[in-house]
């Protein structure tokens, strides 16, 4: 499945967390769901996780990339 929207992302994460403790999502996918130009991208990712009853750790990399680890 190509993840292009937050709806697709939610389905992917939900399925992944049924089989493992953590689902890591890389910046290229996150940027398709939330604009890289938004200054509140991290807050939107945290809000998205909360809406789905997941926890998330957002990691901002030195090169400007973002990685999000979703878990229960």
CATH number at residue 23: 3.30.56
Would you call 9 exposed, middle or buried from its count of C-beta atoms within 10 A (0-12, 13-18, 19+)? Answer: buried
Contact 60, 43 (CB under 8 A): no
pLDDT for residue 36: 61
pLDDT at 37: 60
Q: Which residues pair with 56 in a beta bridge?
A: 70
- Count: domains in the chain: 1
Closest CA to 14 of 27, 25, 28, 30: 25
Tens-binned pLDDT, residue by residue, of the chain (72 aa)? 789 999 999 999 999 999 999 999 999 999 888 876 666 888 999 999 999 999 999 998 888 788 999 999
Q: Is residue 1 part of a domain?
A: no
Query: Does a structural domain hold residue 58?
Result: yes
Please report whether residue 35 resides in a domain: yes
Q: Domain limits at 36? A: 6-71
Give the per-residue pLDDT at 2: 87
The torsion of the CA quartet 20, 53, 63, 27, rounded to 10 degrees, works out to: 70
């Amino acid at each position: 499945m190509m993840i292009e929207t937050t709806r697709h992302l939610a389905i992917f994460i939900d399925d992944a967390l049924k089989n493992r403790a953590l689902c890591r999502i890389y910046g290229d996918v996150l940027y398709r769901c939330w604009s890289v130009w938004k200054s509140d991208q991290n807050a939107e990712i945290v809000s998205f996780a909360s809406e789905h009853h997941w926890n998330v750790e957002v990691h901002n990399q030195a090169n400007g990339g973002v990685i999000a680890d979703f878990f229960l």
